[in-house]
Amino acid sequence: MRDFATSDFFYLMFAARWTVALTIVSILGGGLIGGVIMLLRVLPVAPARIVAIIYINVIQGTPLLGQLFIVFFGLAVFGYEVSPWSAAVVAFSLYAGAFLGEIWRGSVHAVPKTQWEASASIGLSTLEQLRYVIIPQAVRISVPPTIGFWVHLVKNTSLASIIGFIELTRAGQIINAATFRPMTVYLVVAAAYFVICFVLTRLSAQLEGNLRVAR
């Protein structure tokens, strides 16, 4: 055993980069999936809606940890070896896509029906209505819940430590095993998560303010 040293602090901060990186990549991947899911849910095509609903129910109805295990260990059963990073990115992107798709679908449906009727009356197609009229208004509505989910996702990245991905929580476990200073180690880990989440919440407030001014 040894004392918690400055080098341990910097090791945790370097590991925090991977937490941020995993969050950003998962947001990008989940955003693409979520955008598709949102379109499938709002377009007047019944088979597309059914596919989107099944996907959402499967992802939201199963634990994220189980999804991580399925991607990491399940693919290995079929001969596809995946790294902890790749498994985490795939699992978190699929997870984020289901929730973001529902958040954005709800935001689109929150736009008053009269906006749909007015845009239809001037001859816009459904996709044109979404692009020029509905989505610009839905973006304002979706900012708070979207940023809130991102904060939730940051904290959920700690589950990636279960499959051996060395992010902030896993780094904390490693340092604690060497120093046996759980209070010190996990207070630093908690502070790092707080800083990341605080930055996101401030970003949310700034975006809301900018969008309110633009209105």
CATH of the domain at 36: 1.10.3720.10
What mean pLDDT is predicted for residues 86-114? 95
Helix (H, G, I), strand (E, B) or coil at 123: coil
Type of residue at 8: D
The encoded tokens of residue 25 equal: 């990549």
**Domain count along the chain:** 1
Structural domain containing residue 63? 6-214
Distance between the two ends of the chain, CA-based, in angstroms?
Answer: 59
Looking at residue 215, what is its pLDDT? 52
pLDDT at 213 over 50: no
What mean pLDDT is predicted for residues 74-101? 92
From 147, 118, 155, select the one nearest 206 (Cα to Cα): 147
Measured between alpha carbons, how far is 69 from 93 in angstroms, rounded to an integer? 14
**125 falls within a domain:** yes
**110 falls within a domain:** yes
Measured between alpha carbons, how far is 27 from 94 in angstroms, rounded to an integer? 10
Looking at residue 193, what is its pLDDT? 96
pLDDT at 2 over 90: no
Query: 214: pLDDT confidence band, cut at 50, 70 and 90?
Result: very low
Instruction: Flag the least confident range among 12-16, 27-31, 200-204.
Output: 200-204
Helix (H, G, I), strand (E, B) or coil at 88: helix
Type of residue at 207: L
Q: Please state, as a whole number, how many other Cβ atoms lie within 10 Å of the Cβ of residue 132.
A: 11
From 115, 144, 149, select the one nearest 129 (Cα to Cα): 115
What mean pLDDT is predicted for residues 86-105? 96
Looking at residue 80, what is its pLDDT? 83
**59 falls within a domain:** yes
% of the chain beyond a pLDDT of 90:
73
Query: 76: pLDDT confidence band, cut at 50, 70 and 90?
Result: confident
Residue with tokens 């996101």: 200
**169 falls within a domain:** yes
**79 falls within a domain:** yes
**184 compared with 123, residue with greater pLDDT:** 184
Measured between alpha carbons, how far is 93 from 108 in angstroms, rounded to an integer? 22
What mean pLDDT is predicted for residues 108-122? 90
Enclosing H/E stretch for 112: none
What mean pLDDT is predicted for residues 196-211? 84
Interval 140-151: pLDDT, tens: 899 889 999 999
What mean pLDDT is predicted for residues 120-138? 89
Q: What is the mean pLDDT of the chain?
A: 91
**192 falls within a domain:** yes
**145 falls within a domain:** yes
**1 falls within a domain:** no
